[in-house]
């Protein structure tokens, strides 16, 4: 039996949800955008009416307003979108018991053994799924169908969004005809930097990558090169897993700064905040890690600067102070004092924190007790309950972040 996977994507989710909540916006061009005063005035979602004016997701708010003078701008309400996403997942669970959230507005559904009520017809099942979501939440969905998760994802992103019915199937039968002629940048897993390198190698389409000798890809890019080569053929053995957000490889936080940070005294404030937040999330999920990754981005898009490095720790940890010390060491070694506009920290190589190796030279009991106490206070009274004094300075962002989810207001 051939495997059947759906990727269900909500059309212009944030903007569409806002129009459902406010009937007075039904025929108006609506966008959801961040606050331009804190350097996040970027379009997060644009409804179809706004897109008819040429408004695009991820463009600057001022650019969108120049295109559409009557644009209705709404600040994001992330908690409401998350709640709606959970409801959508519940709708999809009526069709299959294997449902995997991929993002707030994208969900994988394993349909291989759930098509009998639809006569074994995936398109019929997808159409019923779309109608049910529309009926219960008022938003439109698109469905990509494929024998693997990666093909379902690309079917949705590159084809389903452009069909009248919002459904498209990408399989081994039409892979070469439909997917291979597309730009190499359309291949899942290829970012702008990788696209640049591949084009310099003469690889400009997905088909050219598929025909490129595998051994040369592995020699140049290692396991990542082989992964991209396999993706071009749609080969992806990964299952649809209901606990995808429970089993993790790393826990991290990335922050776009409200202004350029020039000095170490400013940078270390947000590094400490990020380290404590990463540590708290690791403890909440029952993890420790042995590798700390830190990165930074420069302020000038025309002359990009930045770094991303990692440091192996002596022992497993989920303590913010240990994570901060490692991140600070990486910054001292790799930051050339150029103005920063973004910073990020990740704790990698995770393991269960139920047991740990004791170290006679680094007693942890007092720190663990303190961390548990702080976690309980923040869980009860909010993440902004206890802060380092440095977070009260102009460089601090912890108080503002406590009011947000995913970088946007709740």
More reliable by pLDDT, 186 or 367: 186
Q: How many C-beta atoms surround the C-beta of residue 194 within 10 A?
A: 17
Residue found under tokens 């695009």: 56
Query: Long-range pairs for 381-387 at CB < 8 Å and ≥24 separation?
Result: 383/277, 383/280
Strand order in the sheet with 5-10: 99-103, 106-110, 5-10, 141-146, 167-169
Q: How confident is the model at residue 241 (pLDDT cuts 50, 70, 90)?
A: confident
Superfamily assignment of 250-409 in CATH? DNA polymerase, Y-family, little finger domain (3.30.1490.100)
Specify the length of the chain in residues.
Answer: 410
Choose among 260, 255, 254, 397: nearest CA to 340: 260
**Cα torsion at 154, 115, 165, 149 (round to 10°)?**
-10
Segment 43-99, tens digit of pLDDT: 889 999 999 999 998 888 888 889 998 999 998 888 888 889 989 999 999 999 899
Choosing from 18, 98, 100, 106, the catalytic residue is: 106
Helices (H), 162-213: 192-200, 206-211
Contact 27, 6 (CB under 8 A): no
For the cut 60, the answer to whether the pLDDT of residue 364 exceeds it is no
Residue ranges with strand state E in 181-323: 250-261, 287-298, 306-317
- Mean residue pLDDT of the chain comes to 86
For the cut 50, the answer to whether the pLDDT of residue 392 exceeds it is yes
Which amino acids are annotated as binding site for Mg(2+), given as ranges?
9, 105
Phi/psi at 263 (5° precision)? -115, 160
Q: How confident is the model at residue 245 (pLDDT cuts 50, 70, 90)?
A: very low
**Domain spanning 5-11+79-175: which CATH class is it, in words?**
alpha beta
Residue 18 appears among annotated catalytic residues: no
Same fold, 5-11+79-175 and 250-409: no
Q: How confident is the model at residue 249 (pLDDT cuts 50, 70, 90)?
A: low
Which amino acids are annotated as binding site, given as ranges?
9, 105
Q: How confident is the model at residue 365 (pLDDT cuts 50, 70, 90)?
A: low
Region of residue 349 (left: phi > 0; alpha: psi -120 to 50; beta: else):
left
Structure tokens at 105: 């507005």
Choose among 321, 331, 316: nearest CA to 275: 321
Rounded distance, CA 99 to CA 346, Å? Answer: 27
Report the Cα–Cα distance between both ends of the chain, in Å, rounded: 44
Segment 274-303, tens digit of pLDDT: 999 999 888 888 888 999 999 888 766 555
Query: What's the Cα-to-Cα distance from 124 to each of 40, 90, 94, 129, 165, rounded to whole Å?
Result: 41, 20, 15, 9, 11
Residue percentage of the chain with pLDDT more than 90: 52
Segment 305-347, tens digit of pLDDT: 678 888 998 888 899 999 999 999 999 999 988 888 889 899 9
Region of residue 98 (left: phi > 0; alpha: psi -120 to 50; beta: else):
beta
Residue 127: per-residue pLDDT: 96
Least confident span in 177-191, 280-294, 382-396:
382-396
Is CATH 1.10.150.20 what the domain over 187-232 is classified as, yes or no?
yes
Domain 13-78 fold: MutS, DNA mismatch repair protein, domain I (3.40.1170)
Residue 246: per-residue pLDDT: 44
Query: Long-range pairs for 95-99 at CB < 8 Å and ≥24 separation?
Result: 95/125, 95/128, 95/129, 97/242, 98/239, 98/240, 98/241, 98/242, 99/240, 99/242
Structure tokens at 184: 């190499």
Rounded distance, CA 316 to CA 332, Å? Answer: 23
Contact 118, 125 (CB under 8 A): yes
- The residues pairing with 293 across neighbouring beta strands, listed in sequence order, are 310, 346
Segment 217-229, tens digit of pLDDT: 999 989 889 999 9
Per-domain residue ranges of the chain? 5-11+79-175, 13-78, 187-232, 250-409
């Amino acid at each position: 039996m051939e495997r059947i996977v759906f990727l269900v994507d909500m059309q212009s989710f944030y903007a569409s949800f806002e129009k459902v909540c406010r009937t007075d916006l039904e025929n108006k061009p609506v966008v959801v955008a961040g606050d331009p005063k804190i350097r996040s005035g970027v379009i997060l979602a644009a409804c179809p009416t706004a897109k008819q004016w040429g408004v695009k997701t991820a463009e600057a708010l001022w650019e969108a307003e120049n295109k559409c003078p009557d644009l209705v701008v709404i600040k994001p309400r992330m908690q409401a979108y998350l709640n709606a996403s959970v409801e959508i997942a519940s709708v999809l669970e009526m069709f299959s018991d294997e449902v995997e959230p991929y993002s707030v507005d994208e969900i994988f559904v394993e349909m291989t053994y759930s098509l009998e009520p639809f006569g074994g017809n995936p398109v019929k099942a997808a159409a019923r799924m779309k109608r049910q979501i529309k009926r219960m939440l008022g938003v439109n969905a698109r469905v990509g169908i494929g024998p693997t998760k990666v093909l379902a994802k690309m079917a949705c992103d590159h084809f389903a969004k452009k069909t009248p019915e919002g459904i498209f199937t990408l399989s081994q039968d039409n892979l070469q005809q439909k997917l291979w002629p597309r730009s190499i940048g359309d291949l899942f897993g290829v970012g702008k930097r990788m696209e640049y390198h591949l084009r310099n190698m003469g690889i400009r389409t997905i088909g050219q990558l598929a025909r490129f000798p595998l051994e040369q890809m592995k020699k140049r890019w290692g396991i990542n090169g082989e992964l991209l080569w396999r993706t071009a053929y749609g080969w992806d053995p990964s299952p649809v897993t209901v606990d995808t957000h429970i089993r993790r490889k790393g826990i991290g936080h990335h922050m776009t700064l409200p202004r350029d940070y020039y000095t170490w005294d400013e940078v270390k404030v947000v590094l400490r905040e990020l380290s404590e937040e990463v540590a708290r999330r690791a403890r909440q999920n029952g993890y420790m890690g042995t590798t700390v990754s830190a990165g930074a981005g420069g302020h000038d898009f025309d002359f990009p600067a930045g770094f991303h490095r990692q440091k192996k720790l002596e022992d497993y940890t989920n303590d913010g102070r240990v994570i901060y010390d490692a991140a600070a060491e990486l910054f001292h070694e790799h930051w050339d004092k150029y103005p920063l506009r973004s910073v990020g920290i990740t704790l990698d190589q995770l393991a269960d924190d139920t047991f740990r190796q004791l170290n006679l030279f680094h007693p942890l009991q007092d720190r663990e007790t303190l961390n548990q106490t702080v976690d309980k206070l923040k869980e009860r009274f909010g993440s902004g309950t206890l802060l380092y004094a440095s977070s009260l300075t102009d460089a601090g962002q912890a108080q503002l972040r406590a009011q947000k989810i995913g970088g946007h207001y709740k």
